[in-house]
Amino acid sequence: MRNAELQIVLLNAAALLAIGLSNVHIAAAADKVVLATNWLAQPELGGFYQALADGTYAKHGLDVTIKPGGPMVNNRPLLAFGRVDFLVGTNLLQAFDAVKQRIPTKVVAAFFQKDPQCILAHADGPLRTWDDLKRAPLIMGNSGRQTFFLWMNAAQGFPKSNLRPYNHSLAPFLNDKNAAIQGFATAEPKRVAEAIGTEPRVFLLADHGWDSYSTVLETRTELIERRPELVQRFVDASIFGWRNYLAGGDGAAAANALIRKENRSMTDGLIDYSRTKMRELELLGAGELAEMPIGVMDVQRVRDFYEQMVQAGMYDAGDVEPEAAVTVEFVTPAADGQ
Amino acid sequence: MSDRIEPARQLRTGRVLRVLAPLAVGAVLLAAWEAIVWAKQIPSYLLAPPSLIAKTLLAEWSTLGAAWAVTLQTMLVALAAAVVIGVTMAAVFASSRALETMLFPYAVMLQVTPLVAVAPFIVLWFNDRVWLAQVLCAWIVAFFPILSNTSIGLRSADRGQRDLFDLYGATRWQKLRMLLAPSALPYFLAGLKISANLALVGAIVGEFVIGPAAEHPGLATTILASQLRQDTPMMFAALAVVSLTGVAVFFLVHLVSWFLLRRWHESAVD
Amino acid sequence: MSNPPRRIESPLVEINDVGKSYPSGVVALEGFSMRLRDGEFVSLLGPSGCGKSTVLRMIAGLAKPTSGGVRTTAGVGSLGCVFQEPTLLPWATVWKNVFLPLRLRGVSGGEAKTQVDGVLELVGLGEFAGAYPRELSGGMKMRASVARALVTQPRLLLLDEPFAALDEITRNRTNDDLRRLWRQRRWAGLFITHSVLESVYLSTRVLVMSPRPGRIVEEIAIDLPETRSAETRTSSQYVELCRRVSQALEAAESAYV
């Protein structure tokens, strides 16, 4: 095993920065791999926990550690810095940003074909349609404001002045029948229902033209070039993980136990709800689970989405070659797909 | 005699040094930083060199400047409130030991409450007036040093000087204005020096934990957004704006302090 | 109340059988009586800790007796006080420091100008009106403090060991100045000191106090000539008076050992 580490320590006026570049491993036994995610352990990341818990990663010769994200945690720099090998990204925007900033990372698989990002409104409140939402106080955190809200603002006419701060608490929403709040369609409706008894109205961004993939798997270009077979093994094992996680029955028990252990606020009720919703909303694709081409990406769709974002004013036309943000070599496309 | 002239020259050299020395240190550090980035060919997304940060600062000034103005405003309003409320409370405490004993623990409680924990509630209590909630956060961290220092300062008047005022039948107000206030001034200014930069930190942290005002995001949002968009040079540019503001504020308060105390207080006399 | 006959001047200060004790149990004064008339310069001489400063603070109204009576016909307006320390306000110029007692009475700077300038000339600080206290020597600070006490043209000047911290040369010179000022203005002076030489040189009368609890044990009239100078300090009459005062002081102390 070789481990080259370069440490540069610099004092600047504001802070002491310690930055390290560490390299991945060349080994005969199981390869040590670290996966950083974008949130706390939750069913929306269930496929990865499944592959870890049921030994799929081990069977593929991988010794995997999952490093959860969370509020105030930004795992993204760890990928570029070489501290982790794979990263779960929320949507394609950050992959485009990486290209724009010449950060050598790429999306190698897209697990959610449809973004579960949604806006919630009270079932007994005055907000009944997507257009109603544009007039309502909209509770939204910073990452939403810097990503999908830019599209909502530019392409859908949601005014910035309606934004209200979001601090990972539903309280401000529960308090105000006129308010709308950001959420995951697979989780927040259940949390709202548990708090006030009725499920809220759910408006999926994906149903109104937001066409990003979600829960995308990213890695460094250098790793793709140097160890394509390792990337392939990780992608394959993760796809198995997702297929097994959503298959239902007791197959997911170990993964769910792991999720609950990592994230104490998770309950069986919330987990069941999320798994059901992921199937219902066809987040991983339509049709039979066994034949579903999980993780697949369509380069044309990536191009179209980029074009959409250019029109929303988030990028200049020449900023990014959108196809440079992804590589489709690791996921076998569906028989009918490209 | 030469030693009569020397001190004056030394004085001037001392002042020049005080300005030049930090600048020289800064220049050396920046040069080393730039050199390492170039020599090791560190990509800018890992560590932006100073030249790129400066370039970004100028190129993105329309964004950075607007955010800076917002943060500066939050900071100044919070600091002004900290001065007014801190000094008033200190004056009340100085006039009554009983009130001080009653209220001081609460001032301490306010000081040690973690902002991160209460911020979401503050914004609810303020009925979504985000900017005011940010000001409150910055005020909470900025006001205590002023209260604490001014309180001590108001009690620090010399015993003999108090006797003198009593002897000549000074009123409470005359005593406060002509004796206690000037005695407390150096203490107040020392508190102000701490509070000014705490107000800046508070304004930024407040925006981090409360969220940006919808249409007028400040520097914290710039930093968060540049992190999210992986725009490292922009993030460093925003941090540079914060640092430079902090240094400028510090020197400004230092200058005011020096001007007010230069004739009589040991701390300000060359 | 009937006015006393003009012939016997009503005492400016009258202290009758005063006691002073502190909550700690320390008894500072017991059976202390004294009188001070207009135009007198009286020294209160005693070992340190005998309560002489307490007497001064009582006359100034800064402390109250536990028993007995302190009466003074010199009201707040006609009282000046020089403390052990110069107690100048460091943030104010010499001029403003001297102006302070008048300012506290509501006199404007313009109205006070002649008076302040005059008293600064009197103590020889005319050129230092614009200086800050930290720029002055110890002796100059004390003179500024005296000027401040005199600016209200008091009938009674209380001095609490004002020159104790000065070196002997400066101290002698300052005493000469003080004596000159007294002769020019004729305020009544009460001078607290533990220096025999100083008390004899300055006073018309020396009151010797016992150690704590303090009271007057001996009164010695100083019948030196009006005009006193360096020569006075070497005259046999001065030396003799100093010897008598010293003996009285020693007798008072030994009685308590």
pLDDT tens by residue, B88-134: 999 999 888 888 888 888 888 888 888 877 877 788 788 778 899 99
Q: Do B164 and C87 touch (CB under 8 A)?
A: yes
* Surface of B (183-202) touching C: CB under 8 A: 185
Query: Which of A159, A164, A109 lies closest to A139 in space, CA to CA?
Result: A164
Taking the CA of residue B179 and the nearest CA in chain A, the distance in Å comes to: 40
pLDDT tens by residue, B131-149: 999 999 999 999 999 999 9
pLDDT tens by residue, B16-50: 887 888 889 999 999 999 999 999 998 888 889 99
CB atoms within 10 A of CB B127: 8
Query: Which of A208, A72, A93 lies closest to A150 in space, CA to CA?
Result: A93
What pLDDT does residue B179 have?
95
Q: Is the pLDDT of residue C166 over 90?
A: no
Q: Which helix (H) or strand (E) holds C27?
A: strand C27-36
Q: Do C87 and B158 touch (CB under 8 A)?
A: yes
pLDDT tens by residue, C57-77: 999 988 999 998 898 887 767
Q: Do C104 and B178 touch (CB under 8 A)?
A: yes
Question: Which of B36, B124, B221 faces A171 most closely, judged by CB atoms?
Answer: B124
- Optimal mutation site among B176, B262, B264, interface C, most CBs of chain C within 10 A: B264
Q: Is the pLDDT of residue C208 over 80?
A: yes
Q: β-pairing, C79-82 with C156-160? A: parallel
Q: Do B214 and A161 touch (CB under 8 A)?
A: yes
| Structure token digits, residue A277 | 């919703």
Q: Which helix (H) or strand (E) holds A74?
A: none
Q: Which positions in chain C touch B169 (Cβ < 8 Å)?
A: 76, 104-105
Touch between chain B and chain A: 3 or more Cβ pairs under 8 Å: yes
Q: Do C91 and B182 touch (CB under 8 A)?
A: yes
- What average pLDDT does the segment A277-283 reach? 93
pLDDT band at C19 (very low <50, low <70, confident <90, very high): very high
Report whether C228 contacts C180 (CB < 8 A). Answer: no
Q: At what angle do helices C109-122 and C138-150 cross, to 10 degrees?
A: 130
Taking the CA of residue C60 and the nearest CA in chain B, the distance in Å comes to: 6
Number of CB pairs, chain B paired with chain C, less than 8 A apart: 58
Beta strands in chain A (DSSP E): 5-11, 16-22, 31-36, 62-67, 86-91, 105-112, 117-121, 138-139, 163-164, 180-184, 201-204, 214-220
**Contacts (Cβ under 8 Å, ≥6 apart) of C234:** none
Determine the residue of chain A that is closest to B228 in CA distance. Answer: A143
What pLDDT does residue C8 have?
52
Separation of CA C183 from chain center: 15
Q: Which positions in chain C touch B266 (Cβ < 8 Å)?
A: 134
Taking the CA of residue C179 and the nearest CA in chain B, the distance in Å comes to: 23
Beta strands in C121-256 (DSSP E): 156-160, 188-193, 205-209, 216-221
Q: Is the pLDDT of residue A337 over 80?
A: no
**Contacts (Cβ under 8 Å, ≥6 apart) of A69:** A36, A37, A38, A39, A40, A75, A88
Q: How far apart are CA A179 and CA A112, in angstroms?
A: 28
| Structure token digits, residue B131 | 């900017």
* Surface of B (110-139) touching A: CB under 8 A: 119-120, 123-124, 128, 130
Taking the CA of residue B266 and the nearest CA in chain A, the distance in Å comes to: 30
Asked if A220 is an interface residue toward chain B (Cβ–Cβ < 8 A), one would say: no
Asked if C154 is an interface residue toward chain B (Cβ–Cβ < 8 A), one would say: no
- Optimal mutation site among B159, B164, B188, interface C, most CBs of chain C within 10 A: B164
pLDDT tens by residue, A137-151: 999 988 898 889 999
Which residue has tokens 């202290």?
A: C15
What pLDDT does residue B19 have?
80
pLDDT band at B8 (very low <50, low <70, confident <90, very high): low
pLDDT tens by residue, A96-128: 999 999 999 999 999 999 999 999 999 999 999
Q: Is the pLDDT of residue C194 over 70?
A: yes
**Contacts (Cβ under 8 Å, ≥6 apart) of B98:** none
Asked if B165 is an interface residue toward chain C (Cβ–Cβ < 8 A), one would say: yes
pLDDT band at A7 (very low <50, low <70, confident <90, very high): very low
Q: Do A142 and B225 touch (CB under 8 A)?
A: yes
pLDDT band at A16 (very low <50, low <70, confident <90, very high): very low
Q: Do B209 and A163 touch (CB under 8 A)?
A: no
- What average pLDDT does the segment A39-46 reach? 95
CB atoms within 10 A of CB A188: 21
Asked if A145 is an interface residue toward chain B (Cβ–Cβ < 8 A), one would say: yes
pLDDT band at A334 (very low <50, low <70, confident <90, very high): low
Q: Do B264 and C134 touch (CB under 8 A)?
A: yes
pLDDT band at B6 (very low <50, low <70, confident <90, very high): low
Sheet holding C79-82, edge to edge: C79-82, C156-160, C188-193, C41-45, C205-209, C216-221
Asked if A280 is an interface residue toward chain B (Cβ–Cβ < 8 A), one would say: no
- Optimal mutation site among B159, B168, B174, interface C, most CBs of chain C within 10 A: B168
* Diameter of chain B measured on Cα atoms: 75
Report whether B183 contacts C92 (CB < 8 A). Answer: no
Asked if A74 is an interface residue toward chain B (Cβ–Cβ < 8 A), one would say: yes
Question: Which of A19, A76, A161 faces B47 most closely, judged by CB atoms?
Answer: A19
* Surface of C (6-25) touching B: CB under 8 A: none
Question: Which of C61, C76, C90 faces B264 most closely, judged by CB atoms?
Answer: C90
Touch between chain A and chain C: 3 or more Cβ pairs under 8 Å: no
Q: How far apart are CA C36 and CA C50, in angstroms?
A: 19
Q: By three-state DSSP, how is residue B258 classified? A: helix
Q: Do C87 and B163 touch (CB under 8 A)?
A: yes
pTM of the model: 0.80
- What average pLDDT does the segment C113-141 reach? 93
Q: Do C89 and B170 touch (CB under 8 A)?
A: no
Amino acid at C56: L
Q: How far apart are CA A14 and CA B267, in angstroms?
A: 27
What pLDDT does residue C2 have?
45
Q: How far apart are CA C103 and CA B13, in angstroms?
A: 42
Report whether A192 contacts A200 (CB < 8 A). Answer: yes
Q: Which residue has the higher pLDDT, C49 or A104?
A: A104
pLDDT tens by residue, B167-218: 998 998 999 999 999 999 999 999 999 999 999 999 999 998 888 887 788 9
Report whether B161 contacts C91 (CB < 8 A). Answer: no
Asked if B173 is an interface residue toward chain C (Cβ–Cβ < 8 A), one would say: no
Instruction: State ipTM.
Output: 0.85
Q: Which residue has the higher pLDDT, B212 or A92?
A: A92
What pLDDT does residue A2 have?
37
What pLDDT does residue C11 have?
85
Taking the CA of residue B217 and the nearest CA in chain C, the distance in Å comes to: 44
- Cis, peptide link before residue C213, omega less than 30° from 0: yes
Question: Which of B161, B166, B266 faces C89 most closely, judged by CB atoms?
Answer: B161
Q: Is the pLDDT of residue C257 over 80?
A: no
Q: Which positions in chain B touch A17 (Cβ < 8 Å)?
A: 47
Asked if C26 is an interface residue toward chain B (Cβ–Cβ < 8 A), one would say: no
**Contacts (Cβ under 8 Å, ≥6 apart) of C96:** C89, C103
Q: How far apart are CA B181 and CA B166, in angstroms?
A: 16
Q: Which positions in chain B touch C57 (Cβ < 8 Å)?
A: 163
Chains near B (3 or more Cβ pairs under 8 Å): A, C
Q: Do B33 and A10 touch (CB under 8 A)?
A: yes
Q: By three-state DSSP, how is residue B15 classified? A: helix
Q: Do B160 and C90 touch (CB under 8 A)?
A: no
- Per-position b or e across C58-93, b if 16+ CB within 10 A of its CB: bbbebbebeebebebebeeebbbbbbbbbbbbbbbb
